Amino acid sequence: MDKITKENFIDFLISHGAISFAKDGEHYNLKSGRLSPYFINIGEINCGEELLRLAEFYSQLLDETLQNFDLNDEKIIFYGIPEKAIPIAIALAIHKGNPFFYTRKKPKEYGEATSRKEEKIKEIIGKVPNDDEIIIVVDDVITSGDTKYETYEFLKSIGNLELPILLIAFNREEVGLDGLDAKKAYEEKTKSKVVAGVNTTDLYDYLMSQGKYEEAKRIASYLRAYGTKEAKEKILRITKNDDRDVSKRKIINKRRSIIPACDFEEIEDLENLVKEIDSLDIIGGYKIGSPLAVRYGLERIVDKMKSRSEKPIIYDHQKAGSDIPEMSKKLVRVCKKAGVDALIVFPLSGSETARAFIYHSLENELPLIIGGKMTHRGFTLNDYGYIDDNKLLEVYRIAAEAGIYNFVIPGNRPEFVEKLTRELLGEDVSLTYYATGIGAQGGSIKALNDVLRNKYANLDCAIDLHIIVGRSIYDSKRKIEEIKRLEEELLSY
């Protein structure tokens, strides 16, 4: 039998519908609740000849793996996790000449009877394994690994069985809710070796080699949000010089600038401000708050702004980050259609919300600015609030691991900015900070510059700093003078 390469196997899966790709703008709903641009369904391989071909690949994978194990082949039994892996286990058993078994999939019954070994054995169809026999667990795909843990516990409860290998066709290379690699976590907890035929990064390579850039791009975006550390690093390494990657574009083409926070209620106030200050070179762009968007509609506000200025428009809807992950897709698409140049969110409702915003911003090519730490008192636990400061760093870290380096920072909390910068800086990392809390909330440009310039000037990195200022500008009777004062302070360090 000729060796089946990864490329051969991926081609086989795609040609038989076992790997499918969602149409542009559409997604598959996974059991995990995540929205995915691709779907793995090995159940689509359901004809005899195709199933035998699939068994050949599993057999080849097993043979390569067994070279590193000292196992008695005659004691091997194949177990197929219900339900899609059952025919795979049977076909593999036929191909290898070993026994197989599986269990009835039924709702869990409570009570003493179901915890007894004798009762559990009654659920088995096929060969009942004896103590000391070797079970090769077979499944189709690993995402979070939940069903695999249930299987492991069941098999351990019916006898003194060896469970050295979990054999799967496809590893989605995703992290769980805990941020851990699902495959590695399963291996550490069960001491079983997870052996996958192909990974999502292999699928990415295959699509690129076939010139299917759009499908590959969507998968790359998905992996950057939900992938394992290794998968993210590979994708970021491959796409490092890809100018089409929106996350690599500068929102504001300046190292330092002032961004007026336009949190007005009246559209006339916005128009008057832009008319008065837009000609100043230090003005890098405008931040639009939700009051204007709610009252007049975001698209109308953007159209009005673009008719008066060519500078970037950043929409600040940070509180969307306290919503459920599913809302991220809708908000990102609405902002993209409205024509904003970037979106600010503070994904404080959890890691899944952060990852969802990252994924949909990448897919819709809308630059994302991530924040976490607020500027007001009473926000964190050590200031009589609800949020753990250390957990806030996780918000920024998740974004940085995905290659997102645009961050809102609390300009009146230089000690937090120093801690955050130390956490994020690394090789080839260029951070862009958008500082709030300057002026009216007590923040000092000098204090920020002392942290960013003095402490990190010797590192091979670039930290762009943009000051988001509201009341200090538009409450001033001399707005131009106030902006020039801020400019002098910003550029003098």
pLDDT, tens only, 463-488: 899 999 998 888 888 999 999 999 99
3-state DSSP assignment of residue 194: strand
Using 50, 70 and 90 to split pLDDT, how confident is the model at 255?
Answer: very high
Same domain, 201 and 273: no
In this prediction, residue 288 carries a pLDDT of 97
In this prediction, residue 162 carries a pLDDT of 93
- Residue 104 in domain: yes
How many Cα atoms sit within 13 Å of 484 on the Cβ side? Answer: 6
Tally of structural domains, the chain: 2
- Residue 245 in domain: no
Using 50, 70 and 90 to split pLDDT, how confident is the model at 100?
Answer: very high
> What is the rounded CA–CA span in Å between residue 171 and residue 197?
8
Question: Which of 205, 238, 271 is the last residue before a domain boundary?
Answer: 238
- Residue 216 in domain: yes
Task: Give the pLDDT mean for 427-449.
Answer: 86
Cis peptide before 401 (omega within 30 of 0): no
Using 50, 70 and 90 to split pLDDT, how confident is the model at 112?
Answer: very low
Weakest mean pLDDT among 70-84, 362-376, 436-450: 436-450
> What is the rounded CA–CA span in Å between residue 96 and residue 134?
14
Which residues sit opposite 79 in a β-bridge? 101, 137
Task: Give the pLDDT mean for 403-412.
Answer: 95
Q: Which of 10-19, 314-323, 373-382, 385-394 has the highest mean pLDDT?
A: 10-19
Residues making up the chain, counted from first to last: 493
Please list the alpha-helical segments (H only) found in 297-368. 298-306, 326-338, 351-363
Name the residue among 417, 405, 342 with its Cα closest to residue 373: 417
> What is the rounded CA–CA span in Å between residue 133 and residue 29?
38
Using 50, 70 and 90 to split pLDDT, how confident is the model at 107?
Answer: very low
Question: Which of 238, 267, 295 is the last residue before a domain boundary?
Answer: 238
Question: Which of 238, 266, 285 is the last residue before a domain boundary?
Answer: 238
- Residues 146 and 81: beta-carbon distance below 8 Å: no
- Residues 40 and 18: beta-carbon distance below 8 Å: yes
Average pLDDT, the chain: 91
Tell me the C-alpha to C-alpha distance, in Å, between residue 379 and each of 177, 317, 444. 24, 18, 20
Residue 215 has pLDDT above 90, yes or no: yes
In this prediction, residue 249 carries a pLDDT of 83
Residue 110 has pLDDT above 70, yes or no: no
Name the residue among 34, 41, 49 with its Cα closest to residue 17: 41
- Residue 243 in domain: no
Same domain, 47 and 185: yes
Tell me the C-alpha to C-alpha distance, in Å, between residue 394 and each of 179, 185, 284, 364. 10, 20, 29, 24
Using 50, 70 and 90 to split pLDDT, how confident is the model at 279?
Answer: very high
Task: Give the pLDDT mean for 16-32.
Answer: 95
- Residue 97 in domain: yes
Same domain, 197 and 275: no
- Residue 78 in domain: yes
Using 50, 70 and 90 to split pLDDT, how confident is the model at 170?
Answer: very high
For 232, other C-beta atoms within 10 Å of its C-beta total 21
Q: Give percent of the chain with pLDDT exceeding 90.
A: 73
Task: Give the pLDDT mean for 279-288.
Answer: 98
Q: Give percent of the chain with pLDDT exceeding 70.
A: 95
Same domain, 260 and 213: no
Which residues sit opposite 315 in a β-bridge? 288, 343
Residue 56 has pLDDT above 50, yes or no: yes
- Residues 27 and 37: beta-carbon distance below 8 Å: yes
Please list the alpha-helical segments (H only) found in 131-247. 146-157, 182-190, 200-209, 213-226, 229-238
Task: Give the pLDDT mean for 276-300.
Answer: 96
In this prediction, residue 456 carries a pLDDT of 63
Same domain, 211 and 276: no
Name the residue among 78, 215, 200 with its Cα closest to residue 135: 78
Same domain, 212 and 316: no
Using 50, 70 and 90 to split pLDDT, how confident is the model at 113?
Answer: very low
Tell me the C-alpha to C-alpha distance, in Å, between residue 248 and each of 53, 211, 432. 43, 22, 11
In this prediction, residue 440 carries a pLDDT of 78
Task: Give the pLDDT mean for 223-252.
Answer: 90
In sequence order, what are the residues at sequence separation of 6 or more whose Cβ sits closer than 8 angstroms to the Cβ of residue 356? Answer: 34, 35, 225, 325, 326, 328, 329
Same domain, 176 and 266: no
Pairing state of beta strands 28-29 and 342-345? unpaired
In sequence order, what are the residues at sequence separation of 6 or more whose Cβ sits closer than 8 angstroms to the Cβ of residue 89? Answer: 78, 79, 80, 100, 102, 138
Residue 171 has pLDDT above 90, yes or no: yes
Tell me the C-alpha to C-alpha distance, in Å, between residue 481 and each of 263, 443, 474, 484. 21, 19, 12, 5
> What is the rounded CA–CA span in Å between residue 148 and residue 453?
50
- Residue 1 in domain: no
In this prediction, residue 239 carries a pLDDT of 87
In sequence order, what are the residues at sequence separation of 6 or more whose Cβ sits closer than 8 angstroms to the Cβ of residue 199? Answer: 170, 171, 172, 173, 231
Using 50, 70 and 90 to split pLDDT, how confident is the model at 461?
Answer: low
Same domain, 200 and 263: no
Task: Give the pLDDT mean for 158-170.
Answer: 94
Using 50, 70 and 90 to split pLDDT, how confident is the model at 111?
Answer: very low
Give the CATH number for residue 88. Answer: 3.40.50.2020
pLDDT, tens only, 301-323: 999 999 999 999 999 998 888 99
> What is the rounded CA–CA span in Å between residue 452 and residue 463?
7
- Residue 321 in domain: yes
Looking at this protein, which amino acid is placed at residue 118?
A: E
- Residues 190 and 319: beta-carbon distance below 8 Å: no
Phi and psi dihedrals of 41, rounded to 5? -140, 90
Same domain, 417 and 471: yes
In this prediction, residue 318 carries a pLDDT of 87
Domain ranges, residue 273: 256-491
Same domain, 208 and 270: no
Same domain, 136 and 180: yes
DSSP class of residue 2 equals P
Residue 108 has pLDDT above 80, yes or no: no
Same domain, 233 and 262: no
Give the CATH number for residue 271. Answer: 3.20.20.70
